[in-house]
A = this chain, B = another copy of it.
Amino acid sequence: MTSLFTPPAGTYTSDPTFAHRKTQAVVTLTDHHGDPVQDREVTVRQLRHDFKFGCIGFELIDWVNGRSIDPEYDGALAEQWLGLFDTATLPFYWGTFEPDQGAPKTEALRRTAQWFADKGIRLKGHPLVWHTVCAPWLLEKSPAEAERLLRERIRREVSDFSGLIDTWDAINEVVIMPVFTAEDNAVTRIAHTKGRVEMMRIAFDEARTANPHATLLLNDFDMSTAYECLIEAALEAGITIDRLGLQSHMHQGPWGAEKTERVLERFSRYNIPIHFTETTILSGTPVPPGLSDLNDWQVTPDQWPSTEEGEEAQAQEVEAHYSRLFAHPAVEALTYWGLPDRNMWLNAPGGLIRRDGTPKPAYNRLRDLIRGQWWTPETTLRSDANGEVRFSGFLGDYELSVADTSTELQLRAAGEDHQQLTISGF
């Protein structure tokens, strides 16, 4: 294996004007004969961002599968979800995905993924390997058998969802994987014996074999130097990390500008695009700083309310955090870890939708950004004698319509993007 560590190309600089997210589109339209579509009205409509504004879609699985216990609430939630996000993370925790060996919930997940895909939502699976929520029945297997089953399960999920889900958190929280003591589990046992590098190799190799076109992430909550050392170990071992996953659960208080900038500076050095995979920002009291494992914070929803003051602070912090990350050229995704307060991890008031289904200020503030300030307004242009139209917009996917026909345009190059498009049926 050859080391994949590359010297930093330079220091990335945040740009609050978002120039790296925008382009001047120069589009030449031709009909199906190859002739320019001259002097016609062309309507330009943004479909989604190039940047992935994501959220978990866990709460909609029951509803999509017709098993919702509160269909009215969930139906409204689905609308709220689609009103803000364009990328969904779906859960593949082994322990809940296959609670009984041999009976994985493939169909329920496939139906959910398809529901999102039909609405133009991009998808990610989370996670293929993790020590928490691990299948309990694995503990009865021999180490060799447990590893074989782990490898098999990675290949199975990645194959079964290929074409529908092609982005995966290949492995989660490797930093603590071999020394995790809160709960005995088969993955920690394997990691303890094989070491962290081999665990990463198992996850990436098996997933890559099952789907050579998959985008594979290494994901962790540990923002200390430990994660840097782990990344360097993986690169040294010749493991291709397609995207670097950074969690940013802020249950103990917002990161703020300084920590966020420092994290971005440290982790962008690897020249691997960064996904902020798990973001939570509270609208209530933070967890005390001393706690080392958030899972030890056991309270009921009533004990941890969303407050008016907290909601305003959350809205401000959500706006600041999204703005900081959208401004940094190394970041290409930001996934919020749960839209509603209902069913939220730890019963935290970390959603953007209250328990009663009404949006918090943060929801509206974020919508103003993602679908407002950072969104290219729908425009009608007129093509010139060469069939050319020009417009400025955010990088992303667009629909161009002429009369009753339309075609899709993908803008990926910041600065200026020249494209030739055929409008058929014309």
Q: Indicate which residue in B3, B175, B192, B194 contacts A197 across the interface (CB closer than 8 Å).
A: B3
Smallest CB gap from A177: residue in B: B225
What does the 1/0 interface line of A207-232 toward B look like (CB < 8 Å)?
A: 00000000000000010111111101
CB neighbors of B among A231-262 (8 A):
232-233, 235-237
Q: Say whether B269 contacts A192, CB under 8 Å.
A: yes
Residue A66 lies at the interface, judged by CB distance under 8 Å to chain B: no
Q: Once bound together, how far apart are the Cα atoms of A237 and B194, in whole Å?
A: 15
Chain B residues with Cβ under 8 A from A226's Cβ? 175, 224-226, 228-229
Number of copies: 2
What does the 1/0 interface line of A196-208 toward B look like (CB < 8 Å)?
A: 1110000000000
Q: Once bound together, how far apart are the Cα atoms of A222 and B227, in whole Å?
A: 13
Residue A7 lies at the interface, judged by CB distance under 8 Å to chain B: yes
A230 to chain B, nearest CB (A): 4
A142 to chain B, nearest CB (A): 15
Chain B residues with Cβ under 8 A from A236's Cβ? 195, 197, 233, 236-237
| A5-B232 contact, Cβ under 8 Å, with A176-B225, A225-B176, A225-B179 | no
Q: Once bound together, how far apart are the Cα atoms of A222 and B229, in whole Å?
A: 12
Chain B residues with Cβ under 8 A from A192's Cβ? 8, 269
Tally A residues with Cβ within 8 Å of B: 31
Chain B residues with Cβ under 8 A from A101's Cβ? none
What does the 1/0 interface line of A3-16 toward B look like (CB < 8 Å)?
A: 10101100000000
Q: Say whether A197 contacts B8, CB under 8 Å.
A: no
What does the 1/0 interface line of A160-195 toward B look like (CB < 8 Å)?
A: 000000000000000110110000000000001111
Residue A266 lies at the interface, judged by CB distance under 8 Å to chain B: yes
Q: Once bound together, how far apart are the Cα atoms of A223 and B224, in whole Å?
A: 12
Q: Once bound together, how far apart are the Cα atoms of A224 and B227, in whole Å?
A: 11
Q: Say whether A225 contacts B228, CB under 8 Å.
A: no
- The residues of A with any CB-CB pair to B shorter than 8 Å are 1, 3, 5, 7-8, 175-176, 178-179, 192-198, 222, 224-230, 232-233, 235-237, 266, 269
- Mind listing 8 A-B residue pairs with CB under 8 Å? A7-B193, A8-B192, A8-B193, A175-B225, A175-B229, A179-B266, A195-B236, A232-B233
